[in-house]
Amino acid sequence: MTAQTARTLVSFDIDGTLEVGDPPGIVTISMVRQAKSLGYLIGSCSDRPIRFQQELWARLGIGVDFTVLKHRLVDVKALFEAAAYYHIGDTEMDDTVASGAGFRFLRAEAAAHRAWGPELFVAAARHLSL
């Protein structure tokens, strides 16, 4: 496996998922920045227009690798080779789209985050420090 394929890709829904969404979600911008610092490919997959997504990330000062409409998540997998694909969202539609695109769906709620948060962020950070 090359360094490129060993990477992890994380897609973030916006509304109900990110703390800056409408409504706000549990995923903090600090968590997004941590994912970026771990070398993850990151971006958004939302019902929000592409321009809105791009302007959001620019306003936050975070360089993302992709911005797509929710029904185009499958295109992200075709564009980026990675070892693991995750989509973090808050709705059944997020789950359906993620599963259909071959992504592991991570629910953006406190109880679920206790399970996937350490897996996605803490374990990876430990691996990088070895």
Strand (E) positions, 1-130? 8-12, 41-46, 66-69, 84-89, 104-107
> Whole-angstrom Cα distance, residue 125 to residue 130?
9
Tokens of 64: 């993302």
Q: pLDDT per residue over 77-117, tens digit each?
A: 999 999 999 999 999 999 999 999 999 999 999 999 888 98
Please tell me what DSSP assigns to residue 72.
G
CATH number corresponding to 8-129: 3.40.50.1000
Domain boundary assignment for the chain: 8-129
Q: What is the mean pLDDT of the chain?
A: 91
Distance CA 89, CA 78 (A): 20
Q: What is the pLDDT of residue 126?
A: 52
